[in-house]
């Protein structure tokens, strides 16, 4: 599975392509193609805490809900662990690599909601 991190403006572009009446047919087609790849398990777009904080600041409730629905549909429940959890994991992995031959699998950085 390919993991792709999207900046907030790209998440917004996905939402516009899905929800705006003036979206170009090619934009909608590209979004549908990406969604099929997500549904097939070939692609994932994890959501981060920064995405959620930025979405929270959107004043227009309808736009905020549309963006949230895009997060849900395209992340398929995948999220990036918090900054604190990632730093802890990376320090642990670096120390293990330095002090032992043991390697970590990286699953603590990307997780899936139940």
User: pLDDT, tens digit, for every residue of 94-105?
Assistant: 888 878 766 655
Examine the pLDDT at 6 and tell me if it is beyond 60: yes
Examine the pLDDT at 16 and tell me if it is beyond 60: yes
Q: Which residues pair with 80 in a beta bridge?
A: 110
DSSP three-state, residue 48: coil
What's the pLDDT at 91? 85
Average pLDDT, the chain: 85
CA angle 19, 13, 38 (to 5 degrees): 85
Least confident stretch, 44-48, 53-57, 70-74, 83-87:
83-87
Pair of tokens at residue 42 = 């070939």
> 34 vs 82, which has greater pLDDT?
34
80 backbone φψ class: left, alpha, beta (φ>0; ψ -120 to 50)? beta
Count the neighbouring beta carbons within 10 Å of the beta carbon of residue 14.
Answer: 22
Q: With cut-offs at 50, 70 and 90, classify the pLDDT of residue 31.
A: very high
Examine the pLDDT at 1 and tell me if it is beyond 80: yes
Q: With cut-offs at 50, 70 and 90, classify the pLDDT of residue 107.
A: low
Distance CA 8, CA 43 (A): 18
């Amino acid at each position: 599975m390919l993991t792709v991190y999207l900046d907030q403006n790209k998440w917004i572009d996905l939402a516009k392509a899905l929800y705006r009446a003036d979206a170009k047919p090619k934009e909608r087609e590209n979004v549908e193609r990406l969604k099929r790849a997500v549904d097939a398990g070939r692609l994932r777009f994890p959501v981060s805490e920064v995405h959620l904080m930025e979405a929270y600041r959107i004043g227009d409730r309808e736009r905020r809900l549309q963006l949230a629905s895009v997060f849900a549909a395209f992340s398929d429940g995948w999220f990036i662990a918090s900054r604190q959890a990632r730093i802890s994991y990376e320090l642990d992995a670096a120390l293990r690599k330095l002090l032992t031959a043991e390697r970590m699998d990286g699953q603590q950085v990307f997780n899936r909601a139940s």
